[in-house]
Structure 1
Amino acid sequence: MKNIFSTLVSFSVLACGSLFLAIEGANALTFGGGTCNVTDVKANINGTLTNSTSCIGQVSNPQNDVQSGGNPLLGFLNDDKLFGNFNWSFAGKQDIGKTQPVPFEPGTVDFGFSVDPATGEPKNGTWNVTQALSGPFVISLKAATGWAAYFFENADEFEIFQGTWATTNLQNPAGKQAALSHISLFVADTLDKPHQSVPEPATTAALGLFALGSFGFRYNKKS
């Protein structure tokens, strides 16, 4: 069964209508084990933790989402248009238990991606970047023998520096919640605004006219 969860994100500037994300390229993946939920990975937007727009998982084949240069997930994002027609770049990977992130490929932007796992088995924690995410991005979680990817679409009007992650819906072969192996970040190319550095606390002001809540919408696609 292919489990794809999507959310309908509400903007106060929209008087009516619905926006649904169509996930393409899922046929290139094999699903099994656990699943995913848009609540698993969140972004901190002006002090409010906001769900991802959509997610896909648990992917069981290929078992590893990120190896050399961000592939195979980078290929699924760009070639199979997994979350739509964007030009994606691999921005970073953090292996649990290692103090330093994986070295960046030449030409990529160093977002300073890191993760702060909870005590004990790393099943939840926070993620942080030192340069703001101000466009569409994807965070992927690799746990046990599978992984899931979480898409954030409507980040263009904000400077996002942190969020949370949890492997709540990812399972190990025993059917239990899986511990995180690594977490990775992918960003879509944006040409209209520069990336900002982490602001001083006093300069973090609220940005209006955005309804931060997301309304859950579950879409189950059976193979």
Structure 2
Amino acid sequence: MKKQLTTLVGSSLVIAGSLSLSTTGAKAANLTSSVLEDFSSWNTSGQACDAVGSGMTAYTDCIGAFSTKSTANDVLGDGRGSLFDALGTGVFGGITNWAFGGKQDAGAKTSGATVDYGFQWTENKEGSGIWSLTKAAENLYADVVISLKTATSWSAYYIQKGTALSDFQNLLWNTSGVELAGNKKNGKALSHASIFFANIETKTPVVTKPVVNPTPVVTEPVVNPTPVATEPVVNEPVVNTAPITFISEPMDGVEVPTNPEPVGPVDIPEPSMMLGLGAIGYLMGFYRRKKNKG
């Protein structure tokens, strides 16, 4: 069964990778059945590993839940135990080259890891919490199996390789697919969790080359065309039309004025002559006035 990989950051869920979602447990049940064929003494606990809202928030397949009364502990301090025996059969994807990544009890540090990527988990409330890989380098990929164990049961969850382990931060887990608490509403408290890795590889990061701008288009300067010589406009002289001829014959009832004869030139006397005439006039006037008085 494939589910969606999510991470919890603060109070929000952030997508950290993608696996197809399925709400049925048919494949997980078949895996559990195949394990029981090889380990006939194992008994299930009555809780399905793929119960709604169960297990890891990112897993491809799961097996369980198994009762520890028949399997003993799932994982010992050095990685050996019932789960390691099952993994050796290729129960998950036919993979058998699993390396132990550590076991962490509640309130304790991870121990026994042969491949240590800083696996750790915390429980926020009974039966649920978060887990992380705090030392995984970037571009490091691997198949992963995590086992969740409560007081008397355990289930194992397989996460297929496809997401960089450095992105496995603050992922959700719960034990609803392992063993229910007395209220039957949530999973029991987690006793310990263990992790295994297989097919570990470092992928060469894809280097994106910068986009090279194509050769710029050279725009040729606009060349003004050779000016066309224009002939000067020659203004033709205005030729006066024929002079207006006045009608010499009078119109009926209209008198045509006759031009007067030109006045001949007037002779202006010389200044000395004018003075003499003036003197003569003055004397004659004086004589008349005297005669009139006498």
Q: Same fold (TM over 0.5)?
A: yes
Q: Structure 1 unaligned runs (5+)? A: 1-5, 12-19, 43-49, 197-223
Q: Structure 2 counterpart of 1:31, which letter? A: T
- 1:112 alignment counterpart: 118
**Equivalent-residue separation in structure 2 for 1:53 and 1:63 (angstroms):** 25
Higher strand fraction (1 or 2): 1
CA drift of 1:33 comes to 3.2
The one-character-per-residue Cα deviations of 1:78-111 (angstroms, maximum 9, x if unpaired) are 2x2121322111101110132x22233xxx2211
- 1:33 alignment counterpart: 46
CA drift of 1:114 comes to 0.7
**Equivalent-residue separation in structure 2 for 1:102 and 1:123 (angstroms):** 22
The one-character-per-residue Cα deviations of 1:162-201 (angstroms, maximum 9, x if unpaired) are 211101232269684321100111111324538x9xxxxx
- 1:53 alignment counterpart: 60
1 or 2 for the larger relative contact order (CA 8 Å, sep ≥6)?
Answer: 1
Instruction: Give the TM-score normalised by the residue count of structure 2.
Output: 0.50
Q: Tell me the number of residue pairs that the alignment of Structure 1 and Structure 2 aligns.
A: 168
Q: 1:157 to 1:181 in 2, by over 3 A?
A: closer
Name which of structure 1's ranges 135-144 and 66-75 shifts more when overlaid on structure 2. 66-75
- 2:265 alignment counterpart: none
Q: Structure 2 counterpart of 1:88, which letter? A: W
Instruction: Say if 1:26 and 1:82, in contact at 8 Å, map to a contact too.
Output: no
The one-character-per-residue Cα deviations of 1:45-98 (angstroms, maximum 9, x if unpaired) are xxxxx53111111111314111142122112102x2121322111101110132
Instruction: Say if 1:63 and 1:146, in contact at 8 Å, map to a contact too.
Output: no
Q: Structure 2 counterpart of 1:57, which letter? A: G
Structure 1 segment 61-210 matched on structure 2, within 5 A? 61-72=70-81, 73-78=83-88, 80-86=89-95, 87-98=97-108, 100-104=109-113, 108-119=114-125, 122-132=126-136, 134-155=141-162, 159-162=166-169, 163-171=171-179, 176=184, 177-191=187-201, 193=203
Please give the root-mean-square deviation of Cα atoms over the aligned residues, in Å.
Answer: 3.0
Q: 1:125 to 1:165 in 2, by over 3 A?
A: same
Instruction: Say if 1:66 and 1:184, in contact at 8 Å, map to a contact too.
Output: yes
Q: Structure 2 unaligned runs (5+)? A: 4-18, 22-26, 206-294
Q: Structure 1 counterpart of 2:2, which letter? A: T
Structure 1 segment 6-17 matched on structure 2, within 5 A? 6-7=1-2, 9-10=19-20
Instruction: Give the TM-score normalised by the residue count of structure 1.
Output: 0.64
Q: Structure 2 counterpart of 1:149, which letter? A: A
**Equivalent-residue separation in structure 1 for 2:73 and 2:116 (angstroms):** 22
Q: 1:25 to 1:171 in 2, by over 3 A?
A: closer
Instruction: Say if 2:100 and 2:197, in contact at 8 Å, map to a contact too.
Output: yes
Name which of structure 1's ranges 123-132 and 27-36 shifts more when overlaid on structure 2. 27-36
Q: Structure 2 counterpart of 1:115, which letter? A: W
